[in-house]
Every structure is written in C-alpha cells, then in structure tokens.
C-alpha cells in the first residue's frame, strides 16, 4: 500500500474508532442490566444512526476499491472489516464487554437512572438526527432517485482522455441530478482521484450534501499516473488548476443540447407538464415513477441551472421543445393552477403534434397517494394559437 493511500485509509479507521469511543461512552449507562454485544450495536444504531451508516458506507467504498484492485493485480489492498466486526476491535467496546465490567455494571444497575439517561441522551440526539434527515431529504429533492440507462454513457464520456475540463464540468453537473449507488460511487472516485481541484471539490461538496462525510484530499497528495513526462507536467501544473464557470442561462442550455455530448445521450420516459405551484405533488409523482424505474423530465430538477424565471426568452421555448422531443410520453398534472397555465397548454399542444402518448393525473389523486395515469381527452387542451400565447408570456413566465 503506497504511503499516501495507507495514510488516508488508516486515518479513516482511526476516525471511526475515535467516534465509537465517544459514542460508547454516551450509551454505556443505557445498557440493560444483563446485556450483549447486540445490545451495544442496537443502541449505537438508535442514537447514532447516521454515524453508523457512515461506517457501512466506508466499508462498501473500500470493498469496491478492493474488488477493482483484485481484478487488476490479483490481490486486495484494504481488507476493511464490516462495521460490527470492526466494532469488536474497539477499545471502549472491548472494555464494556469484559466480564469484570459487566459484573460491576450489573451490581450497580439502577432501572430509574437508566431510564433517565435514555431520556436525556435522546433529547440531545433527536434534534441532531432530524437535522441530518432534513439535510439529506433536501439534497435528494433536487435529484431523481433512479438509474437511467444513459448514466454509463455519461460516466464513460467523463472518463475519456479527450474530454477536457470544461466538458467534464457539464457532465458532472448532469450526474449530480441523479441519486443512485452508481453515481455516488462515481463521486467518491472523483473525490479520491480527480487531479483537477475544481472538479474534486464539486464531488466533495456534493457527497457532503448527503452526509457521506468524505475526506477532501490536498492537491499535493494527488497522484498522476502516467509515464509521459510532458503529459504529467501538464496535468500537475495546468490541468490541476483549470477552472470553468457555466453560463447559467437558456441560451447556453440550448447550445449544449445541440452540441454537448452529455445532453445528446439523454432521453426521458415522461415529460411532466405541471404548474410550479404544485411542486410538492409533482415531487411525489416523480418519486413514484422513479420507484418504477421511470426517468422523467421536470424543469426545476433537470434544468434548474439554466431555466430561471427571470431569464425566460425564446431560447426557453426552444429548450422545452427539445426536451419534449426527447420524451417518450407526457404526463399532465391537472390542477386549478395547471389548467390556467399558458406553458402547460404549449407543452400539451406541441407534444400532441409529435403524436406520442399523453396521460393525465389529478393533483388531488397524487395528494391521496393514487398514481394511476389515464389517457387525456385532447379536446380539453387543443388550441391552434398555443405558440402565440406562449410567446406573449415570455416576458413573465406563468405558473
């Protein structure tokens, strides 16, 4: 194991053991009079669920790295133990699991003190657990929890030697829109190996938003794996410090859809036509369709970096048309808000001209956890003047 790699791995293990020392100290007075190792694990999972999950994720991360290393070199490198086996080696755990400690604890056990300690610790831990839950849910709300077939193509585009830092920025921003194991593992790999500082930091902060607790590597520890001296010098001195800021406007998105490889590989099972005032119901619908393996287009998730309401223009219409053309079917979320929307009318009429399936679902049904789609009655929305109405609305986009 190389010096830098060994240092990072050993640092991770020390952090885990240090964390458990503090947590075991906190839950030691909550143990029943007669307890087992399973009781210790149960208490850690209850009062420190995200911390326990972080160890499981770290184990999975190093297991995947070992699997890859073994396929290349024939043997593993890290051999990290699963969470429960690793806990067996923890000094604080070994201390409270010793027969002498158990005898003293049992002899001095007081049920009322134990219950009081439970209440006190939970009053401290519950707000923190809830804050982390909210943080994770907020991060997930900006993604789709599904793995579209084109994910592998996006990752493949990123990994090409010919892909420059600018194009990698566009690809990485696309990948941030999906929450699944494949994408999270990709961001962990970037955080570990990406030489470019900007890209590595994007990966780091994205993982942090889901509470994955990655470690941001310093630039001086980044390794360049090439024997070509000229390329090595370029990667270390120029590529490592390149920086690009995406122009966040509809015109830029229109250009990328027409020319960017990260956009050309994408297609959608459904385009969701809706009012932004019904975003809560739409989010629930998206989660339902994601659970069925369906990938949908929703402007405030998929194109939130570009389609700002104060930047609505002719390019916005063009982008919407291109997204509709890349969709296999359309779902109209019917509500008092959406039936009045000029933009929904535009999307419905344009998609009808593509001669593809259009479905409708009432917002009230979504609110009641009913997600049955029905074919729409075209007479409810057909309007030959729909393009002119939308153009008139480009100065202030309707909800």
> pLDDT tens for residues 23-70?
999 999 999 999 999 999 999 999 999 999 999 988 998 998 899 889
In a domain, 353, yes or no: yes
Residue 225 has pLDDT above 50, yes or no: yes
Number of domains, the chain: 3
**pLDDT tens, 257-313?**
888 888 889 899 999 999 989 999 999 999 999 999 999 999 888 887 666 555 566
For residues 94 and 165, membership in a common domain is answered with no
For residues 106 and 237, membership in a common domain is answered with no
Residue 395 has pLDDT above 70, yes or no: no
Determine the pLDDT at residue 251: 85
Higher pLDDT, 271 or 218: 271
> Once rounded to an integer, what is the mean pLDDT over residues 83-102?
97
In a domain, 397, yes or no: no
In a domain, 398, yes or no: no
Residue 298: which residues within 8 A CB-CB, separation 6 or more?
272, 274, 282, 286
Residue 38: which residues within 8 A CB-CB, separation 6 or more?
none
For residues 190 and 288, membership in a common domain is answered with no
Q: What is the pTM of this model?
A: 0.83
In a domain, 43, yes or no: yes
For residues 345 and 294, membership in a common domain is answered with yes
Of 241, 275, 305, which residue constitutes the final position of a domain?
241
**pLDDT confidence bin for 398, thresholds 50/70/90:** very low
Distance CA(242)–CA(239), nearest Å, equals 5
**Which structural domain, as residue segments, surrounds residue 199?**
151-241
Q: List the CATH number of the domain containing 367.
A: 3.40.50.10140
Residue 82 has pLDDT above 60, yes or no: yes
Picking from 317, 345, 347, 343, the residue whose alpha carbon sits closest to that of residue 330 is 347
Distance CA(330)–CA(268), nearest Å, equals 10
Q: Give the lowest-confidence range in 135-139, 236-240, 245-249, 283-287.
A: 245-249
Residue 218 has pLDDT above 60, yes or no: yes
For residues 379 and 254, membership in a common domain is answered with yes
Picking from 358, 209, 363, the residue whose alpha carbon sits closest to that of residue 276 is 363
In a domain, 80, yes or no: yes
Task: Work out the mean pLDDT of the chain and round it to a whole number.
Answer: 90
In a domain, 357, yes or no: yes
Distance CA(179)–CA(148), nearest Å, equals 11
For residues 46 and 79, membership in a common domain is answered with yes
Picking from 90, 94, 97, the residue whose alpha carbon sits closest to that of residue 13 is 90
For residues 268 and 319, membership in a common domain is answered with yes
In a domain, 228, yes or no: yes
**pLDDT tens, 353-389?**
999 999 999 999 999 999 999 999 988 888 888 777 6
Active site residues: 347
Determine the pLDDT at residue 25: 97
**pLDDT confidence bin for 399, thresholds 50/70/90:** very low
For residues 211 and 272, membership in a common domain is answered with no
For residues 160 and 131, membership in a common domain is answered with no
Determine the pLDDT at residue 89: 94
For residues 100 and 223, membership in a common domain is answered with no
**pLDDT confidence bin for 1, thresholds 50/70/90:** very low
Determine the pLDDT at residue 308: 57
Of 241, 275, 303, which residue constitutes the final position of a domain?
241
pLDDT more than 70, % of the chain: 94
Residue 5: which residues within 8 A CB-CB, separation 6 or more?
77
For residues 268 and 350, membership in a common domain is answered with yes
Determine the pLDDT at residue 313: 66
> Once rounded to an integer, what is the mean pLDDT over residues 160-188?
92
Of 97, 119, 141, which residue constitutes the final position of a domain?
141
For residues 269 and 378, membership in a common domain is answered with yes
Phi first, then psi, for residue 77 (nearest 5°) are -115, -45
Phi first, then psi, for residue 332 (nearest 5°) are -100, 120
In a domain, 146, yes or no: no
Determine the pLDDT at residue 397: 45
């Amino acid at each position: 194991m190389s010096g830098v790699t060994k240092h990072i791995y050993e640092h991770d293990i020390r952090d885990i053991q240090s964390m458990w020392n503090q947590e075991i100290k906190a839950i030691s007075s909550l143990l029943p009079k007669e307890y087992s190792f399973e009781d210790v694990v149960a208490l850690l999972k209850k009062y420190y669920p995200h911390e326990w999950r972080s160890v499981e994720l770290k184990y999975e991360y190093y297991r995947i790295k070992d699997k890859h290393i073994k396929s290349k070199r024939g043997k593993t490198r890290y051999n990290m133990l699963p969470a429960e086996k690793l806990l067996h080696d923890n000094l604080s755990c070994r201390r409270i699991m010793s027969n002498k400690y158990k005898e003293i604890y049992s002899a001095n056990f007081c049920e009322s003190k134990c219950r009081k300690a439970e209440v006190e610790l939970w009053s401290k831990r519950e707000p923190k657990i809830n804050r982390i839950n909210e943080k994770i849910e907020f991060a997930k709300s900006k993604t789709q929890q599904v793995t579209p077939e084109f994910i592998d193509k996006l990752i493949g585009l990123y990994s090409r030697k010919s892909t420059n830092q600018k194009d990698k920025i566009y690809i990485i921003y696309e990948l941030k829109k999906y929450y699944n194991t494949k994408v999270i593992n990709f961001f962990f790999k970037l955080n570990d190996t990406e030489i470019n500082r900007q890209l590595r930091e994007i990966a780091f902060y994205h993982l942090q938003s889901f509470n994955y607790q990655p470690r941001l590597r310093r630039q001086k520890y980044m390794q360049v794996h090439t024997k070509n001296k000229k390329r090595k010098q370029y990667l270390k001195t120029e590529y490592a410090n390149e920086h690009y800021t995406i122009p966040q406007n509809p015109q830029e998105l229109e250009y990328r859809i027409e020319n960017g490889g990260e956009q050309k590989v994408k297609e959608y099972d459904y385009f969701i036509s809706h009012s932004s005032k019904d975003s809560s119901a739409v989010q629930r619908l998206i989660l339902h369709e994601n659970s069925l393996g369906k990938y949908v287009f929703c402007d405030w998730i998929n194109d939130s970096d570009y389609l700002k309401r104060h930047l609505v223009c002719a390019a916005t219409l063009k982008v919407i048309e291109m997204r509709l053309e890349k969709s296999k079917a359309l779902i109209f979320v019917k509500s008092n808000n959406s039936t009045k929307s000029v933009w929904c009318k535009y999307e419905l009429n344009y998609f009808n001209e593509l001669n593809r399936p259009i479905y409708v679902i009432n917002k009230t049904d979504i609110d009641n956890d009913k997600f049955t789609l029905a074919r729409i009655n075209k007479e409810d929305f057909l309007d030959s003047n729909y393009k002119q109405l939308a153009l008139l609305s480009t100065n202030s986009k309707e909800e």
